[in-house]
């Protein structure tokens, strides 16, 4: 691999000649592939896998996943590079927390956070790029989570709505991408000697806005996929100097995770030490105690909630309740239901008013109101466990191939109406059984042939 001369000179000076040669040799090795299992799903079908576990990453394994497999389509597995998995592992989100994934696409960090939150608490996943936010929505829906909002906003606008709100913020900052050179050689074309310093300016701007949203006693995880000191340790020093209420949480250096450059509390993933690509991670603690004005802000938003055009009408609620009574073994609180046009969503609890923000996915999409009826969404059929649904239809591998291609097929099931399609005790969305035929409701934009 041909690396820029300035890049070579820079890291030879940082690493020293002997270690630099090991670093340089790593670029000739193949990129490392990996994936994670989804604990929100029934993983019994994966019980006998013999893949090698990734040390330090719960549910992480080395290897590749087939994008057209049933396990991938139903969200049992998520492809994510090993070093990137360290961010979510170090963040260690807990059930019940209010969490922000600030630069979330394509969804690796968000889905990993959701794995440890167990559908409890709130995750706000934000992606400023509208195109990339659509991919983020797709990956989160496949994962089957119920407690996540996907936004498509600038960090400045987020800070206005969520002052001192989040218990945990993950800022995987846009960077010069040096750690991705081996995996994506095209990234080399964008690199020049001044690029890391230019990126650090933008990163500081994002940091300053993110700090406005960090709750008292909250934690912030800062990460990049680059080795540049300007974008990493220098930014941490900037944060510690500008925000005296912050302190570094020392991270352990095992499994090939190295110390930072003159900063032992952080970790670096060097490809000649760690089996994966490049990553920098730091975890900071807000030492500020409770600020009394926060509850006032939340009460203001809670007071206004429900007094808008997104409130579910009596007619709509009756249609939803009819569907839920006939098809589900679970009930959702009415105050958490919200409509956008004809689409019905289940919102996570504890949200402020999001009326001024661009929303890509407002909670769990339950379905769509049609004329005098309610039609369940694909996302709902993925999120619900088979035990939460009254009618289920187990389908074979051959029927899976037909269904994802958009075809209907015959079924021996005696039930009629809406049914959740099931493979190995995991849902593949809802379909309609009519006279022994499974009508196809697999989303047209997701269909493919095997």
Binding-site members for S-adenosyl-L-methionine are 103-109, 127, 172
Per annotation, catalytic residue among 175, 225, 269, 415: 225
Query: 215 near 165, Cβ under 8 Å?
Result: yes
φ, ψ for residue 21, nearest 5 deg: -65, -40
Question: Contact at 8 Å (CB) between 337 and 367?
Answer: no
Binding-site residues sit at: 103-109, 127, 172
User: d(Cα 170, Cα 87) in Å, to the nearest integer?
Assistant: 8
Buried b (16+ CB within 10 A) or exposed e, 58-76: bbbbeeebeeeebbbbbbb
Distance of CA 303 to the CA centre of its chain: 30
Distance CA 124, CA 362 (A): 10
415 is catalytic: no
In terms of Cβ atoms closer than 10 Å to its own Cβ (0-12, 13-18, 19+), residue 440 is middle
Distance CA 342, CA 367 (A): 9
Structure tokens, 302: 């809670």
Question: How many CA within 13 A on the CB side of residue 48?
Answer: 1
Residue with tokens 């994008």: 67
User: 166 has which bridge partners?
Assistant: 214
Answer for the pair 389, 152: CB distance below 8 angstroms, yes or no.
Answer: no
Beta bridge partners of 61: 35, 53
Which residue numbers are catalytic? Answer: 225
């Amino acid at each position: 691999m041909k690396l820029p001369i300035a890049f070579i000179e820079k890291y030879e000076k940082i690493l020293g000649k002997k270690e630099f040669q090991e670093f340089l040799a790593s670029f000739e090795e193949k990129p490392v592939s990996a994936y994670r299992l989804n604990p929100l799903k029934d993983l019994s079908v994966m019980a006998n896998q013999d893949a090698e576990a990734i040390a330090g990453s719960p549910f992480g394994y080395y290897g590749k996943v087939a994008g057209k497999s049933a396990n991938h389509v139903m969200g049992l597995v998520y492809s994510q590079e090993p070093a990137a998995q360290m961010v979510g592992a170090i963040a260690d989100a807990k059930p019940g927390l209010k969490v922000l994934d600030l630069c979330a696409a394509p969804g690796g960090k968000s889905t990993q956070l959701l794995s440890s939150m167990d559908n409890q608490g709130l995750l706000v996943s934000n992606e400023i790029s509208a195109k990339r936010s659509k991919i983020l929505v797709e990956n989160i829906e496949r994962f089957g989570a119920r407690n996540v909002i996907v936004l498509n906003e600038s960090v400045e606008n987020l800070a206005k709505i969520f002052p001192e709100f989040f218990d945990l913020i993950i800022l995987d900052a846009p960077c010069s991408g040096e750690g991705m050179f081996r995996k994506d050689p095209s990234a080399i074309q964008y690199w020049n000697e001044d690029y890391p310093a230019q990126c650090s300016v933008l990163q500081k701007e994002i940091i300053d806005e993110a700090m406005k949203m960090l709750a008292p006693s909250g934690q912030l995880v800062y990460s990049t996929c680059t080795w540049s000191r300007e974008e990493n340790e220098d930014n941490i020093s900037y944060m510690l100097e500008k925000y005296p209420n912050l302190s570094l949480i020392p991270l352990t250096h095992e499994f090939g995770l190295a110390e930072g450059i003159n900063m032992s509390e952080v970790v670096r993933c060097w490809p000649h030490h760690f089996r994966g690509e490049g990553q920098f991670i730091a975890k900071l603690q807000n030492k500020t105690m409770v600020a009394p004005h926060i509850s006032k802000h939340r009460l203001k938003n809670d007071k206004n909630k429900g007094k808008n055009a997104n409130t579910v009408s009596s007619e709509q609620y009756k249609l939803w309740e009819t569907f839920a009574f006939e098809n589900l073994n679970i009930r959702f609180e009415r105050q958490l239901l919200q409509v956008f046009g004809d689409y019905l969503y289940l919102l996570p609890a504890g949200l402020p008013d999001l009326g001024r923000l661009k929303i890509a996915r407002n909670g769990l999409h339950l379905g769509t109101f049609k004329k005098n009826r309610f039609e369940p969404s694909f996302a709902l059929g993925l999120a619900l466990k088979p035990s939460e649904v009254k009618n289920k239809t187990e389908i074979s591998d051959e029927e899976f191939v037909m269904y994802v291609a958009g075809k209907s097929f015959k079924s021996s099931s005696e039930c009629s109406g809406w049914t959740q399609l099931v493979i190995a005790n995991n849902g593949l969305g809802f379909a309609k059984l009519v006279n022994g035929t499974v009508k196809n409701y697999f989303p047209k934009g997701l269909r493919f042939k095997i």
